[in-house]
Chains A and B, each alone.
Chain A
């Protein structure tokens, strides 16, 4: 066991102040990545700042054109929320596909988005639905939030407070899960905003991105066969023992076709 200081601030201001004063601090949300990393001694922060006590980071609000989810909301709450199931069913469905039940009970949307794991599910929703990430000091567009492998637009000390998702006419998410971890080898979310289509992809590259080639053809013909002719370049795609870059590029089209078939049935 190694020593670290544990803090549980009651407000954002207090959390940020603790972060600024500490030597090598980390914020703790659900801890589904960070705690596992610490147990393996692969991270050893001097100060762990638990965000569980901050009231303004919790809660779900639904209005006519958007769903607002507090950053500390767990995946199971999003999956089981009657309000979200009614207004934005694709988000509940996506949350229900994350990891296993234990992870869904502890893991949070803010933690997942801030971590920007290349295979996490939520980034596909932030990008595919054109969400907005709010922090204690500013708002960041979903298109600009994810920058690279584990790299986001967040500055050191910045905390995600909540995320807004615009409500599309209809949307669907399909992923090819790793059978052990349930991480997305590739996941594709397609949203139809009545006239414009957005396609968010996770798992394929270093971070979530929009598949602009697929968006272009779907804006012309909202039909799964339209995706067949699109070139998805695999340059820079993830390449590991689970799947090659080339295979992932192929999966992007397969998952996009399946998501679109689901979308057209709704």
Chain B
């Protein structure tokens, strides 16, 4: 395990270095655009305007990339992710405020859809040949074919506008104050439903399909036939035999997915005005805010790597046979 940890750190470093170079090579020169703007508004020569623009966006592309990288690494060692060039506040401050919201909504929806989807999938594998099978497949195909933004707007229209059951936007009502008080917690719950549904509806289907496929390969096993012949209750077989053998790869992909989800929920967060990482990711890409972009990408790298590590750890705990 220690070796894996070290390897993961190495992965993080490689990814971080890649990302560092990548974001700086992205086309779309903000500095140039701003300089042209300043040139017109302030009546300056281009060179002057460019110097001024450098100061305004706190970024100097003329500095060699290697020296920028060294500065970045040494800052990183002191847990300093730099200052956002557009918002002019420490990147850590933005991450600290947005991360909990994204974690809240992703964990809630991933947990919900995983539990429901995997149960459904196992049950369908067990009852192969009944109407459940095509129904589940159809559900999964349909919900996944609908683009996520479209699903979000549909949910908004039906549950928010037509039925008026749920609040339309935000993470909590502006009339309440965040803290440990009942009105806030209630409004938090109400506001979470729409985004959780938007995430979960397609995810349930894909978990169910994966679970069904994994379980099907296990179902052929002889010991299951034995268990069935022994007259064990289906629920027990499902849990003790099927579950145990089929769940390992599923958990592995759950952990992987969690990591990926943390980075990319841009559309749904914008749709519901949710104060998570997705909003800041979209903004930072639009303004080429390198420090913020890098901070966000670093966070999702860490999440993915942590997800993978915990997946491995978990599968070792659950399935002793995969220990070497």
Is this pair of chains taken from one and the same complex?
no
Q: Which residues of B contact A (CB under 8 A)?
A: none
